[in-house]
């Protein structure tokens, strides 16, 4: 393997050592795109509980589509790569491949060339990297080999970052629940409401003001504390 290729792999190791999943995936997109001179790079992460692949990062801006586009294992080329743990190389007319799944929101689905490799850790596949070119493109064996190596190299970092993200989400959910319970208790006490009616009042206020349940609950708790002071 050439020194330049080794430098790229070392860069991957250095960059994905962070725990923030968004940062890790963006670095994978940046390095993979530079390596293959890609017109598009999409990274899907496996939700092991739902057994589906979720779009989490993209070279081209698709903010509204991130976390929205999902595929089951075996669905599309991406799902096939995840299920088989094997790369797929298509140099022209990728959309005509019988495994291809179209998402009309993604202009990249109409690109000609497609290279897809699994992201793997010790336990198995945790995601997929998709590289696309607008025009017919010959993927060199060196490109395929390096992208596959990146997929194997970053698997552990991706999985660790995903677990951290899930842990933070769970912690936030527990904090919101505690605030909500306290806010309901205040309304039940002050307005003589049942628990269900107290929750509905908080929920309605959240929808009317376009604020989160956390924000509404916190406002109720803060107002109650101010009453104690006065």
CATH class of 3-153: alpha beta
Q: What is the pLDDT of residues 40-73, one digit of tens each?
A: 999 999 987 788 999 999 998 888 899 899 999 9
pLDDT at 18: 61
pLDDT at 21 over 90: no
State the pTM of this model: 0.71
Cα gap 223→198, rounded to integer Å: 16
* Comma-separated ranges of CATH 3.30.450.40 domains in the chain: 3-153
CATH number of the 165-229 domain: 1.10.10.10
- Pairwise pLDDT comparison (131 vs 200), residue with the higher score: 131
* Comma-separated ranges of CATH 1.10.10.10 domains in the chain: 165-229
pLDDT at 221 over 80: yes
pLDDT at 13: 65
């Amino acid at each position: 393997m050439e020194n330049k290729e080794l430098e790229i792999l070392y860069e991957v190791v250095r960059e994905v050592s962070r725990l923030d999943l968004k940062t890790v995936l963006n670095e994978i997109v940046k390095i993979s795109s530079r390596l293959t001179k890609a017109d598009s790079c999409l990274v899907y992460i496996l939700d092991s509980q739902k057994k589906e692949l979720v779009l989490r990062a993209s070279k081209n801006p698709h903010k509204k589509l991130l976390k929205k586009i999902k595929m089951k294992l075996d669905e599309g080329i991406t799902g096939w790569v995840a299920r088989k743990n094997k790369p797929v190389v298509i140099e022209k007319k990728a959309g005509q491949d019988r495994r291809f799944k179209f998402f009309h929101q993604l202009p990249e689905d109409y690109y000609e060339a497609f290279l897809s490799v699994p992201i793997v850790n010790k336990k198995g596949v945790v995601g997929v990297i998709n590289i696309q070119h607008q025009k017919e493109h010959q993927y060199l064996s060196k490109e395929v080999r390096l992208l596959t190596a990146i997929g194997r190299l970053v698997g552990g970092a991706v999985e660790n970052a995903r677990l951290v993200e899930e842990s933070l989400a769970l912690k936030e959910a527990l904090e919101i629940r505690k605030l909500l319970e306290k806010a309901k208790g205040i309304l039940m006490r002050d307005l003589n409401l049942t628990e269900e009616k107290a929750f509905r009042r908080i929920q309605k206020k959240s929808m009317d003001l376009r604020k989160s349940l956390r924000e509404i609950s916190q406002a109720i708790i803060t107002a109650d504390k101010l009453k104690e002071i006065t």
